[in-house]
Copies of this chain bind each other. A is one copy, B any other.
Amino acid sequence: MYYDELSMTEFSKRVKQKDLVAILPIGAVEAHGPHLPLSTDSLQPEHVAREVAKKLNALILPPFRYGMCSSTKNYPGTISISPESLRMVVRDIISELVRNGVKNIVVLAGHAGLHHISALKLAAQDIVDAKKVKIMVLSDYDIAYDLRGKVVPEDDGHAGTIETSRVMAIRPDLHKARGKKSENRIPHFRVFKNPDKYWANATNGDPTKASALLGRKVNDYIVKALVVHIKLMLRAPE
């Protein structure tokens, strides 16, 4: 299940598996309010990766737990790397997977910031433009937010009801506190040196409404949907 638990000899055999998928979980070290750990955006895609890997007999690559954080970049604990660094590392990793004969790759991010996702997609674009390989890049929140306006309000976001619930389901021991309903008030379209001035708590939504039960439902929803998307990729002509 874990790519790097194989030996070189085992890997040689395993890579020949029909429809082998490799999943690269991309996390972040990012402030998520006082109620969630800095690893929030790592825990979620790594959980999804494990569940998906079980269903598809996929390989999981060593997670890369660093990302590019914009609005939370000044909060305590956040470690934000540049989009260039992120793009280069992910490009290198994908490129080596292709060299090794892997044909289907899923880059699965927990963090869904604009520059973060842009960097990941550019890394993938660099490779698909040059090599024959199928790649999918997404944040699990691209799927989770299907549920906004349904199980949670439309404006649920960072460290809000869904995210808190998912952490409660995955690592209840890291759910630190009840949290507090808060709102991101960063003025539209502005680019700031200190966006945190406009954002109390690094929370956008209502973590007090969260539950492990809801978290499990959301996680299951994501896993099922992602499995469908990956199967579509495997069947696609290119």
Contact = CB atoms under 8 A, between A and B. Distances in A.
A66 B64 contact: yes
A82 interface: yes
A139 to B, nearest CB: 9
A6 B37 contact: yes
Given A5-B39, A9-B176, 4 more contacts: A4-B38, A6-B37, A78-B100, A82-B92
A148 to B, nearest CB: 15
A153 interface: no
A155 to B, nearest CB: 15
B115 A122 contact: yes
Contacts of A191: 121, 124-125, 128, 135-137
A28 B213 CA distance: 37
Q: Please name the 4 residue pairs, one residue from A and one from B, whose CB atoms are nearest each other, closest first.
A: A62-B65, A11-B77, A4-B39, A8-B31
Interface string A181-222: 000000111111100000000100000000000000000000
Contacts of A10: 176
Interface residues of A, number: 84
A35 B6 CA distance: 10
Interface in A100-150: 100, 114-115, 117-119, 121-122, 124-125, 128-129, 134-138, 142
A54 interface: no
A142 B189 contact: yes
Nearest to A83: B122
A89 B84 CA distance: 9
Interface string A62-102: 11111000100001111111111110110111001100100
A59 to B, nearest CB: 10
Given A8-B32, A128-B192, A89 B96 contact: no
